Amino acid sequence: MRLIKWYYHISLPVILILTLVVGLTPPHSIDGIQTTGNQMVIAHPETQQEKVTQDNPPSDVQTKSATPKVVSVSTKRATTTPSPSRSQSSKTTATAISTSGTETNSKALVIVNTAKQYLGVKYVWGGTTPSGFDCSGFTKYVFAKNGITLPRISRDQYNIGQPVAFSSLQPADLVFFSMDGDKIIDHVGIYIGGGQFIQASSSKGVLITSLSSYWKSRYLGAKRVL
C-alpha cells in the first residue's frame, strides 16, 4: 500500500512535466506530413492542388478548350440569269425598230387611202372640207382624219416634221412646191409612192399627179410628220 502511494506521488509530477513539454512543441510539416502536438496529419497532394486552384483560378485561355468552328459551305452554285449575247441584243433591237417601222407604214397607208377617198372633189380657194378644198386645206383635213394636226397654210406646214430627201420619199410624206418659181412655198401635196402624189389642183380639183420634170423643177422639199 505504501509502495502504491509512493509511485503515485512520483509519477504524477512526471506526467505533468511531460504533458507541458509535449504541449509546447510547435507543429511542423515534413514532405506533406503535418504534425500537431502528438498527432500527424498527411496532407493529400490532390487536396493541396484543389486549394491552389481555388485561390488562383486559371485564365480564360487556360480553362476554355479550343473548340474548332465548323463552317458550312454550300456546294450549290448560285443561279444567275445569263446576259444576252451581242447577237441576241442586236436581234431584239432590230425587232423593235422593225415593229415601229411596221406601225408607221401602216399609218402611212391609212393616210394615203383617206386622201384617195376625196378624188374628184372640186377646188375651192380657202376650202377645208369635202365640199371643196384648196391645197393646204386638203392636206390638213386628211391628216386630221387620222389624228394628226397640221397648220392651216402650206408655208407653215413646211415648218414642222422631219426633212426628207427626194430619194427617200415614203407614202404620207408632205411634198412642197413653189409654183411662181420664186422659191417661196405656195403649194403642197401628199406623196403616195411610185413617184406620184395626190393634191388639190386649182384647175382639176383633187387628183393624183406624177412627179414629172415640170413638178421637179418647182419642188422645194418634203417633210415627214408621222
Q: What is the CATH number of the domain that holds 156?
A: 3.90.1720.10
Pairing of strands 128-129, 39-42: unpaired
- Residue 97 placed within a domain: no
- Residue 73 placed within a domain: no
Pairing of strands 196-201, 205-210: antiparallel
Helices (H), 64-170: 86-116, 135-144, 154-157
Residue 50 three-state SS: helix
pLDDT, tens digit, 9 for 90 and up, residues 87-136:
343 333 333 333 456 777 999 999 999 999 999 999 999 999 999 999 99
- Residue 36 placed within a domain: no
- pLDDT band for 9, please (50, 70, 90 cuts): low
Q: pTM for the full model?
A: 0.57
Q: Which of 9-13, 44-48, 99-103, 182-186 reaches the highest mean pLDDT?
A: 182-186
Question: What is the rounded average pLDDT for all residues in the chain?
Answer: 74
CA gap 64, 51 in Å, rounded: 20
Pairing of strands 196-201, 162-164: unpaired
Do the beta carbons of residue 160 and residue 154 sit within 8 Å? Answer: no
Stated as kind and residue range, the H or E segment containing 47 is helix 45-55
Q: How many domains does the chain have?
A: 1
- Residue 198 placed within a domain: yes
pLDDT at 18: 61
CA gap 129, 144 in Å, rounded: 11
CA separation, residue 98 to residues 82, 101, 125 (Å): 25, 5, 41
- Residue 54 placed within a domain: no
CA gap 225, 170 in Å, rounded: 11
- Residue 65 placed within a domain: no
The residue segments making up the domain with residue 172 are 103-224
- Least trusted range by pLDDT, from 10-14, 159-163, 180-184, 188-192: 10-14
Strand order in the sheet with 205-210: 162-164, 219-224, 174-177, 187-193, 196-201, 205-210
- Residue 78 placed within a domain: no
- Residues serving a catalytic function are 135, 187, 199
Residue 218 phi/psi, 5-degree rounding, is: -105, 0
Q: Give the CA angle between residues 206, 208, 212 to the nearest 5°.
A: 130
pLDDT at 1: 54
- Residue 125 placed within a domain: yes
pLDDT at 104: 78
Do the beta carbons of residue 175 and residue 220 sit within 8 Å? Answer: no
Residue 15 has pLDDT above 70, yes or no: no
CA gap 32, 148 in Å, rounded: 116
- pLDDT band for 194, please (50, 70, 90 cuts): very high
